[in-house]
Copies of this chain bind each other. A is one copy, B any other.
Amino acid sequence: MNIIDGNVTSPIGFKAAGNAVGIKKNKSGENTGPFESKKDMAVIVSEKPCNAAGCFTTNVVKAAPVLWDMKAVANKITGIVANSGNANACTGQQGLKDTADTADKLASLINVKAENVLVCSTGVIGVNLPMEVILKGVESTYSLIGSSYEKGLSAAEAIMTTDTRSKTAAVTVEIGGKTVTIGGMAKGSGMINPNMATMLCFITTDCAISKPMLDKALKACVKDSFNMICVDGDMSTNDTVLCIANGMAENTEITEENSDFEVFVKALYHITRKLAIDCADDGEGATKLIEANVKGAADEEEARKIALSVVSSSLLKAAIFGEDANWGRVLCAMGYSGADFDPMAVTIEFRSGKGTIRLMDKGTPVVFDEEKAADILSEHNIFIDMFLSEGKGAATAWGCDLTYDYVRINGDYRS
């Protein structure tokens, strides 16, 4: 596997563009607010129809585009349109119609049916889309598409909301003697939580892979990546990971769990893991990335619960922001995770580029060097390692610290 500097336009046959069409405006008509990028619409188009797979929010309240995509991924997909600045969530019947009209607009431009187009929205909840702006925007954005690196980057910028940087990834792998490329882009930031969050991720690939195998691959990869990150415990109405595969690498189509499939999954996992960590690292107001590693849980499911509970604890997140080695909050969060374990057998360590420090040893607190602990916690990437004695279950979750800026950003997001 070769990691390359690329994005959704890296695989053969994909074009994209990002554009500022005027959705991200405040009442007085000026671009404003927490948005780093004024771009607010992205379009991705494939030369050939794609097999598509999607993973969606488990929130009972699903945004209109989520409901659309959950159906449409069953079809061959040729285009995707995504807007930022407005989530088209909690928007009633009008929201459903607006999504359909948006799909129809791109479909008419690329000569397919609306059902062959996927739609995503992210941004403010509870406000209907400015449809005149959206429909004109689809047209102007489509007119900009291209297959260059820059076009893909521009699309990645256009889906940002409170993200401080765009998030892209790409790899190439050899499958059946052919070079297969996978490219992706994501946006995250607030509302990032297990089982997806206001997190959008778009992955393109020229791999030839059947729809059922693409479904299987994406599901497996999302489970250990996007479903293992947490920014604030809120689960959004819009979370969507989409993967579309156009087969233009001309490898023998993957239709079963053979070695080609394994190579593809490994490469896809690199993309989803990298983008998921980017989302956690760029959590709203975050100054640190937290990686929680659990080993020795009863099984994998129990390990997941513990790892996610730890990166989700507001108290621990605030302590990490303060570079305070308050490991008791780690054990506490492990304890309410829902997993069962013997607290008297738990070992906890904090680790960073500056070294490792053991804080609890098999249930007993360790008297530790506060200066060394503070030095370790001064780094950006903080690892929390937890060792249990229940079995062989292991899992990793990612999160970020809780900061003043999180409160500032979310105290007045709409204005």
Which of A193, A233, A415 has the most CB atoms of chain B within a 10 A radius of its CB?
A233
Other A-B pairs, 16, CB within 8 Å; known A60-B337, A125-B328, A318-B409: A59-B336, A60-B334, A61-B332, A61-B335, A62-B335, A126-B327, A126-B359, A126-B360, A232-B315, A233-B312, A234-B315, A234-B329, A235-B335, A237-B331, A404-B407, A407-B407
Task: With CB as the reference atom, state the residue of chain B lying closest to A334.
Answer: B61
Whether A391 is near chain B, meaning CB under 8 Å from some CB there, is no
A125 partner, pick from B322, B331, B412, beta carbons under 8 A? B331
> Which A residues from 369 to 413 make CB contacts under 8 A with B?
402-404, 406-413
Number of chain A residues whose Cβ lies closer than 8 Å to a Cβ of chain B:
69
Task: With CB as the reference atom, state the residue of chain B lying closest to A343.
Answer: B61
Complex contact B364–A332 (CB within 8 A): no
Complex contact A328–B89 (CB within 8 A): yes
Whether A140 is near chain B, meaning CB under 8 Å from some CB there, is no
> Which A residues from 216 to 239 make CB contacts under 8 A with B?
232-237
Complex contact A322–B365 (CB within 8 A): no
Provide the A320-331 mask, 1 if CB < 8 A to any CB of B, else 0. Answer: 011010111101
- Among listed A2-10, A90-98, A102-110, A150-158, interface-contacting one: A90-98
A383, B275: Cα distance in complex, Å: 39
How many copies the complex holds: the figure is 2
Whether A1 is near chain B, meaning CB under 8 Å from some CB there, is no
Whether A75 is near chain B, meaning CB under 8 Å from some CB there, is no
A93, B363: Cα distance in complex, Å: 8
A37, B80: Cα distance in complex, Å: 59
Whether A131 is near chain B, meaning CB under 8 Å from some CB there, is no
Task: With CB as the reference atom, state the residue of chain B lying closest to A238.
Answer: B332
A319 partner, pick from B232, B333, B344, B413, beta carbons under 8 A? B413
Contact A365:B324 (CB < 8 A) given known A60-B341, A61-B331, A403-B407 = no
Which of A61, A91, A337, A344 has the most CB atoms of chain B within a 10 A radius of its CB?
A61
Whether A210 is near chain B, meaning CB under 8 Å from some CB there, is no
Complex contact A402–B407 (CB within 8 A): yes
A332, B327: Cα distance in complex, Å: 32
Complex contact B234–A343 (CB within 8 A): no
Contact A331:B90 (CB < 8 A) given known A322-B411, A339-B60, A410-B318 = yes
Whether A280 is near chain B, meaning CB under 8 Å from some CB there, is no
Whether A58 is near chain B, meaning CB under 8 Å from some CB there, is yes
> Which A residues from 61 to 99 make CB contacts under 8 A with B?
61-62, 87, 89-94
